[in-house]
Amino acid sequence: MAEIYVPAGGPPQGSSPSQEIYGLMGQDNIFAMIRDFYQRLGQSSIKGMFPGDLTLSADKSAAFFVNLLGGPPLYQELYGAPMMRRLHMSFTIDEAARQVWLGCFFATLENADKYHFPEQHLEGFKVFLNVFSAWMVNRQS
């Protein structure tokens, strides 16, 4: 097994997205956005990291994003503390996989208006995704 890589600087600090996003989008739109994102992941070069049926994975991720964007703590209520890096350790996530993940998310966000994603918060959310995804990298390329 390859040595675990820990990104310099530790967990992301201070790059959380605006808590206003949930109130402007609503839970249903967040779930729709994340389901569309997972549909893209399921067609990507990293699809092997995901189960054949992406529904549960998408809904778990959407529950995480609901709270992250200012909504109720759905993920915590259903699954416990997020501990996202620990949950992703069973997957080999290198910079190339991170870039595919980001590409799928950014492609989904090209249709941000479809989900009523507030335009004024879009760039800040992309910054968050960039920083957050860097923390998920656990193997060097």
- Identify the CATH number of the domain in which residue 110 sits: 1.10.490.10
Query: Percentage of residues in the chain with pLDDT exceeding 70?
Result: 99
Residue 128 lies in a domain: yes
Give the domain extent around 92.
Answer: 20-136
pLDDT digits (tens, 9 = 90+) for 75-103: 999 999 888 778 778 888 999 999 999 99
Q: What is the mean pLDDT of residues 121-127?
A: 97
pLDDT at res. 85:
75
Q: What is the mean pLDDT of residues 94-117?
A: 97
Residue 1 lies in a domain: no
| Neighbour count for residue 122 (Cβ, 10 Å) | 15
Ramachandran assignment for 4, one of left (phi > 0), alpha (psi -120 to 50 degrees), beta (any other): beta
pLDDT at res. 82:
85
Residue 88 lies in a domain: yes
Residue 45 lies in a domain: yes
Taking the model in full, what pTM does it have? 0.91
CA angle 30, 35, 40 (to 5 degrees): 125
pLDDT at res. 2:
64
Q: How many folded domains does the chain comprise? A: 1
